[in-house]
A and B are shown apart, each in its own frame.
Chain A
Amino acid sequence: MNKRVQYELIWLIAVIAILALSALANYNYTVSSSKEIAQPYNGDPAGVVINVTGYQWGWQFQYPNGTITTDKLVLMANVTYTLIVTSKDVIHDLYIPQFGVQVYAVYDHTNEVSFTPLVPGTYIMECVEYCGEYHYEMRGEVVVL
């Protein structure tokens, strides 16, 4: 094997090693936190269930006791929630940046995602799937008590 090929191989192996480590970390996270990743609703929700409906242009949250709020999600700290998310019309995407929670709202299809807010406070919430004229106003706040 000549020197040139050797150099190339050394660099390549370094890259592959870094990628393999990233892939491993990714695998670990995905497997261990699978409930925190958006996925099709499988009928076995963890914790308190909140039904979420996206529509042009707003978010509706329905809590277990029947209360409904619009563009505002109210949660308790240290309680595990499962959002069951669907859409009335086009595709939307509910996103709470500070929680790393993101889930698509699709017509005729329900997705779920679970999370546990820890720190009380007021956070932001946005739609991040482009959905027409007032897409940018399809946002609100998340209050953790």
Chain B
Amino acid sequence: MIFSFELAIFGSTISVLIIMFLLLYFYAQDYRKYLLEVNHEEILDRGQENAVLSNMKRELSFAAFFMDDSKSIGIRYIITSLLFFFIAGLAGIGMRISLWNPNPTFLTPIQYNVLLTEHGTLMLYGWATGSILGLGYYLLPSMLKIKKDKLGHLNSAMFWFYFIGGVLLIFSRSTASWYFYYPLTDQLTEAGGGTYSFAALAGVLLILTAANVASIVFLKMIFLDRDKSIRLSKLPLFAWSIVSTALLILSSAPVSMVADVMLIYDLINPIFFTGSNGTALGYAILFWFWGHPIVYVAVIPAFGLIYELLPKYANTKVYSYKSGVVGLLLLMILSGTVWGHHLFNSGLGTIWDLIFSTTSFLVAIPSAITVFNWIATLWTGKIRLTVPMLFILNAIVDFVIGGVTGVMQADVGINELIHGTYWVTAHFHFILLGMTTGMAFAAIYALFPTLSGGRRYNVAMAKAHFYLTALGTYVMTVPWALGGFQGMPRRVAGYFGIFQSYQDAAAIGGIILGIGQLVFLINLVYSSTKPISVSNENILESEVVYGE
């Protein structure tokens, strides 16, 4: 073979990668042995070893990628979902800046649409779903003191499904948006749904498979493997929130997966959503049967985290344990019945419109039960404004705003005015940024001593992160809501000049948000290089006291 420069570069890159892989592998084995030796219990088999490992206080480490106890799986998901969050966030800020002028500035329409699809899919499937699976795998084993942890291979394989799914979402350059509506998705052109749109569908399928399996594993941990000293009536509310989330995933995600497979099948032989017995709206209906529940999948675990953290920073107990559980479970049941509110103007007919808007009003009841429970808890406590507490308080406010805008747009008459506008985008960014993302940050800060193996984060930087994130959220979403109410359309690469002031204000908000996340990143790196200074106590494991 003739020597070529490219070949040399390629070959050496591959060999460096292989060496790095092997080094990490052996490091991980060593690390695992070390962790097990620290623990002096007698250990018989690998399942028990894993159970011991997943009950330990564990720091974030890349060695987790070669270990398969539940806690390592959690660490893998946490690291990867953060990566997806930053990629999707960059896409979001890119879109925002490109919308500075009414005509597309630095993004061509196709590039804009690629970023739109990447942002939506990666944020929901990569970040929201991924971080929740991560926190579930990370927190549940030690919260419930599980005695068995035997599904390591399965959990590990499912993590790689999720990882590859995310990679496919990024590199497929799909422009079908996170709905993947038929027939757009099956137009395999740059101008339609993207040449490799089916790869993005495969990515979604892989991630949803992982989410389904993880849900079953969580239910198994909670109902079968937990330490029997924890009675069901004393189960932590975070565990209840995972029960609710897992059941919601299992009862609705498969519907959307079937629809995705039908879309892929229709590429070859169009029978499902077109022709004599199919309709394009059929896909939309199957999609929203999952499309609504996923937004609750993204918030219910955040509710659970608030229940766990709030009492600790308010020095009190949760006002009412019972209504906490009832609220979480009712949310799961009711949010399975409202999906039609995404299709009011599609021609469901007025009867269905009425049914879905009424069920949507009902969802507000368990949401209100939950919020009142928090407010009552705050009322009876003494509030300490630590960084996680700031995120929690902001999350509650943002959720209330998001919930009220949600109920408003569930009104058939109002929906005709704001469907398809930035009002809707504002509605869900309040919740997905303020609640889902905010509570993930709150958990990361609260767990920082554990996650970093006994280090403290820099409080000034963490506060800057909080204030920039909260401020950025408002500066971005309030103009969206105002513009949206006057008809500013969403998912556009350019717009009528009359909307420019709203778009520009929102762009500034997006930039503030970006700077905030940069501070977060710097803080993570800076603080993890500091010497060990505190105990690595996991505050989410200690006993929680609940009211009745």
Contact = CB atoms under 8 A, between A and B. Distances in A.
Interface string A98-140: 1011111011110100000000000010111111111111010
A34 B411 CA distance: 14
B21 interface: no
Interface in A2-42: 4, 7-8, 11-12, 15-16, 19, 22-23, 25-27, 29-31, 33-34, 36-40
A133 to B, nearest CB: 4
B486 to A, nearest CB: 6
Interface in B305-319: 319
B354 A30 contact: yes
A12 B347 CA distance: 34
B369 interface: yes
Contacts of B104: 136
Contacts of A23: 357-358, 361
B183 A107 contact: yes
A37 B489 CA distance: 20
Contact of B376 (A7, A15, A131): A7
Interface in B269-293: 274, 279-281, 284
Given A100-B416, A136-B493, A12 B368 contact: yes
Q: Which of B421, B489, B494 has the most chain A CB within a 10 Å cutoff?
A: B489
Interface in B326-357: 344-350, 353-354, 357
B62 to A, nearest CB: 38
Interface string B465-502: 00000000000000000000011011111111010000
A25 B547 CA distance: 38
Contacts of B175: 132-133
Contacts of B281: 91, 104, 106, 109
Interface residues of A, number: 55
A128 B421 contact: yes
B523 interface: no
B411 A26 contact: yes
B470 to A, nearest CB: 26
Contact of B489 (A16, A101, A126): A126
Interface residues of B, number: 66
B347 A111 contact: yes
A90 interface: yes
Nearest to B486: A97
Nearest to A16: B365
A39 B280 contact: no
B412 A90 contact: no
B177 interface: yes
B413 A133 contact: no
Contacts of A40: 347, 349
A135 B187 contact: no
B323 interface: yes
A128 B495 CA distance: 12
Contacts of B192: 56, 90, 132-133
A102 B423 CA distance: 15
Contacts of A134: 109, 191
A103 B344 CA distance: 9
Contacts of B191: 56, 132-134
Given A11-B372, A19-B407, A98-B487, A128 B416 contact: no
B184 interface: yes
A30 B412 contact: yes
Interface string A70-110: 00000000000000000001110101011011111011110
A129 B489 CA distance: 9
Contact of B183 (A36, A89, A98): A89
Given A90-B183, A133-B113, A136-B494, A8 B349 contact: no
B509 interface: no
B489 A95 contact: yes
Given A39-B347, A108-B274, A128-B490, A26 B279 contact: no
A129 B376 CA distance: 42
B320 interface: yes
A87 to B, nearest CB: 8
Given A106-B281, A106-B346, A97 B417 contact: yes
Contacts of B346: 38, 91, 104, 106, 111
Nearest to B411: A26
Q: Which of B183, B346, B354, B490 has the most chain A CB within a 10 Å cutoff?
A: B346
Contacts of A102: 345, 416-417, 419-420
A100 B347 CA distance: 16
Contact of A133 (B109, B183, B498): B109
Interface of B: 104, 109-110, 113, 116, 175, 177, 179, 181, 183-184, 187, 190-193, 274, 279-281, 284, 319-320, 323, 344-350, 353-354, 357-358, 361-362, 364-365, 368-369, 372-373, 376, 407, 411-413, 416-417, 419-421, 486-487, 489-496, 498, 547-548
Report the 3 A-B pairs with minimum CB-CB distance, sorted nearest first.
Answer: A97-B487, A128-B420, A136-B492
Interface of A: 4, 7-8, 11-12, 15-16, 19, 22-23, 25-27, 29-31, 33-34, 36-40, 56, 89-91, 93, 95, 97-98, 100-104, 106-109, 111, 124, 126-137, 139
7 contacts: A26-B358, A39-B347, A89-B183, A95-B487, A98-B487, A107-B280, A133-B190
